Structure 1
């Protein structure tokens, strides 16, 4: 199904903004989720995803459709991104990546392992974070001074989600929001395990945060 001009324009704006924040060698993409995207799941992928809800499978199909294209660009055609017990997809050997979606938009990032050894991505609507959720997410150690004050909470939430995705494959430790200190001013985060994570984000027209762990 061909997307409407409005959807195509939103995707284009977000794609350009995401490319602008992505480090070298990190490929990144987005797709507005729409009817029928569950059909983009490869058969093995469809079997590995336990959720039966159409919206969940549609979002998973959209995110994997992006990832399939990014992987094909670096020589991995029709690679099935199976869901692991942690919920993250299993990437090809030598490749790191991350998927995310909100209700309407899916995003993905992939890269060969090199200077960057792990990736995490999150996407959120560009709307203020509800106060009750902000109270759960924010800690006194967080710094959001340079962010749009209306969206700072949302960016902080997305940053902690992205950081968790980036560090879990390395440390295999479950972290709460209170275990991640984010400094949007400096563009990095620190976990309670001492893991240092770089951050980049954009707001156009969604909040997207990319977290990545670099070799020291």
Structure 2
């Protein structure tokens, strides 16, 4: 499913259930105290990561949570993972082709009461009202949340810093299935260019909303 919104520079693997998945000893240690639900989503996300590594021609390797839970990828690999009820995915690329990746999946339902005011700026809330009036078939508040999660997952490997929901403004394009995120704080310098925002794509399908950002490398 997520392949539909990804460029050729990356590979993806996804799962809609939790098949048996073996973990590396280091991963077992990282998840040893987790409840069963957390263990399943952790293990299946890493199964997806291993499948994506194989598609890249990269040997299987442990993927341990690092600062703020960000996955620590093998040398030369960049990527992102996501999980929600009924879906797990990993998207990877080689560092010479891709600088950063951020993906997120959410159930296609409304945000819980009170959450929208915490994650959306006034201009975004106005944008959502217009989208809901013109395209009522998608839960746009959940899509905005997912897009902002993808923004953060793309941002963090570049900076090692937190990015609050209020520090980026997202505009969703319903016709193109895309979105633009404009940073409201100074962005990092990547390949000699200051990053001021990110471009991504979205999909609503199979009871899910999925968003993805792939920041290409400026290299050959």
So what's the TM-score if we normalise by structure 1? 0.83
Q: Distance in 2 between matches of 1:75 and 1:152?
A: 37
Tell me, yes or no, if structure 1 residue 152 matches structure 2 residue 140: yes
Residues 121 and 162, structure 1, Cα contact 8 Å, conserved in 2? yes
- Residues 50, 86 of structure 1: alpha-carbon distance in 2 compared, 3 angstrom cutoff: farther
1:1-216 pair list within 5 angstroms: 15=1, 18-34=2-18, 37=20, 39-49=21-31, 51-142=33-124, 143-144=127-128, 148-149=135-136, 150-185=138-173, 187-191=179-183, 192-194=185-187, 195-205=196-206, 206-215=208-217
Q: Distance in 2 between matches of 1:214 and 1:146?
A: 29
Shift of the alpha carbon at 1:47? 1.4
Which of the pair is proportionally richer in strand? 2
Q: Distance in 1 between matches of 2:123 and 2:217?
A: 24
SS in 2 for 1:187: strand
Q: Distance in 2 between matches of 1:170 and 1:41?
A: 27
Q: Deviations over 1:20-65 (max 9, x none)?
A: 210121112211233x64x432222121336511110110111110
Residues 49 and 83, structure 1, Cα contact 8 Å, conserved in 2? no
Residues 201 and 208, structure 1, Cα contact 8 Å, conserved in 2? yes
Q: Report which stretch shifted further, 189-198 or 115-124.
A: 189-198
Q: Deviations over 1:68-99 (max 9, x none)?
A: 01101222222111221321111111211001
- Residues 45, 203 of structure 1: alpha-carbon distance in 2 compared, 3 angstrom cutoff: same
Alpha-carbon RMSD across the aligned residues, in angstroms, is: 2.1
**Structure 2 unaligned residues grouped into runs of 5+:** 188-195
- Residues 51, 22 of structure 1: alpha-carbon distance in 2 compared, 3 angstrom cutoff: farther
Aligned residues: 198
Q: Distance in 1 between matches of 2:12 and 2:152?
A: 18
Cross-structure match for 1:9: none
**Structure 1 unaligned residues grouped into runs of 5+:** 1-14
Residues 9 and 97, structure 2, Cα contact 8 Å, conserved in 1? no
- Residues 22, 146 of structure 1: alpha-carbon distance in 2 compared, 3 angstrom cutoff: farther
